[in-house]
Amino acid sequence: MALVLHLDDEIPVLEAAGNQIGELGHRYGGFHDVNEAKAEIRANRFDALIVEPSPEGYCGQDPVSVIELFRELHPESPIQFQTVLEEIHVKELMREYSATYSQKATSSHPFDDFLAPLD
C-alpha cells in the first residue's frame, strides 16, 4: 500500500492508496494532524510515498518532516513525485530546512543524494 502526501496551503494531508484501501484508507481520508500521521507511518508498512500537488497551494516545512520520517522508517520504499514542479518545490523546502536547522555550514545539503536526479 502506498501513502499519498497531498501538499496543501497549511499542512500535509495523508491518505492511504492502493489495492487495500479499506479501513486504513478510510482512516486516512481527511487526515490532517501531522503528529498522528507520523504515528501511522511508524505503525504501518507502506510500499511507497507519493507526493501529489494540491489545488490549495503549498504548505510550509511540514512535508520535510513527513518525508524524512518516511525515508528513515521505510528506506527501501520509493518516494514518487507526481509532477516535476512538485519535486522542485519540495527540494527547495528541504534546502531551506537544512540551511535553517543545520548546526554547521557544509558544501552540500543532506537531501542532495535523495533528490540528485532532479539536478
pLDDT in tens, 4-58: 666 554 444 444 443 333 333 334 444 445 666 677 778 877 777 777 655 444 4
- Indicate whether 99 belongs to any domain: no
DSSP state letter for 17 = E
- Indicate whether 30 belongs to any domain: yes
- Indicate whether 112 belongs to any domain: no
DSSP E strands, 1-119? 2-6, 13-17, 48-52, 79-81
Structural domains of the chain, count: 1
pTM for the full predicted model? 0.47
Residue 83 and residue 36 in contact, taking contact as beta carbons nearer than 8 Å: no
- Report the distance separating Cα 55 and Cα 77, nearest Å: 26
- Indicate whether 118 belongs to any domain: no
- Indicate whether 96 belongs to any domain: no
- Indicate whether 63 belongs to any domain: yes
Domain that holds residue 27: 2-86
- Indicate whether 38 belongs to any domain: yes
